[in-house]
C-alpha cells in the first residue's frame, strides 16, 4: 500500500496500517486512505475532482517495450490516481498492471487497500493473501493482514 496509508485523513478514528513493498512499481508513493467505514459521499465527490494523468506517466506507458515495463507504467498511474483519491481509476490501473505482470505484489496490496476501503473485506483479504504469497516476509503486508483479520471483522 502507499506509504501514507497508515496516516489518518481525519475522516475516521480507524486508519489502515502502513503497508509498503519495496520491490515493485506499485510501492513507495504516498496516499492517504480513509477507513472502510468513511466511504459515504466521499467516493462520488472525489471522482468528479480527478485530474488527468500527467504527461510523463502517459509517455512512460507509450515507451514501455514489454509487459513488465507496461505493467510498471500502469502501476505508477494507479499510484497517481490513488494519491488523488480517485480510487476507481486507481483500481482499474492496478488491475491492468497485475493482468500484465502477476508478480506485482505491491499492486495486489494496493488493490487490497482499495477493496477494504470500499467495504469488500473478503476480497481485500484475498488480494493481500496473493501479495503475501509473492512476498511472504513483507512486514507491512503482514501487519495489514492482521489489521484486516482483527480490525475490520
pLDDT at 93: 95
- Three-class SS state of 141: helix
Residue pair 140/147 in contact (Cβ under 8 Å)? The answer is: no
pLDDT along the chain (153 residues), means of 10: 36 36 38 36 46 81 86 92 92 95 95 94 95 97 93 57
Length, in residues, of the chain: 153
Would the pTM of this model clear 0.75, i.e. be above it?
A: no
> What do you get for the CA distance between the two ends of the chain, in Å?
20
pLDDT at 5: 34
Amino acid at each position: 500500500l502507499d506509504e501514507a496509508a497508515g496516516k489518518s485523513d481525519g475522516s475516521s478514528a480507524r486508519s489502515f496500517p502502513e503497508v509498503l513493498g519495496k520491490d515493485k512499481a506499485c510501492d513507495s508513493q504516498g496516499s492517504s486512505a480513509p477507513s472502510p467505514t468513511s466511504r459515504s459521499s466521499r467516493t462520488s465527490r472525489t471522482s468528479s475532482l480527478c485530474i488527468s494523468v500527467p504527461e510523463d506517466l502517459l509517455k512512460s506507458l507509450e515507451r514501455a517495450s514489454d509487459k513488465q515495463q507496461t505493467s510498471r507504467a500502469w502501476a505508477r498511474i494507479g499510484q497517481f490516481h490513488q494519491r488523488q483519491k480517485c480510487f476507481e481509476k486507481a483500481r482499474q490501473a492496478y488491475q491492468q498492471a497485475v493482468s500484465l505482470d502477476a508478480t506485482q505484489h505491491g499492486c495486489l496490496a494496493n488493490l487490497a487497500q482499495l477493496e477494504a476501503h470500499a467495504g469488500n473485506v473478503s476480497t481485500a483479504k484475498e488480494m493481500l493473501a496473493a501479495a503475501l504469497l509473492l512476498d511472504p516476509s513483507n512486514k507491512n503486508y503482514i501487519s495489514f493482514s492482521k489489521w484486516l483479520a482483527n480490525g475490520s471483522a
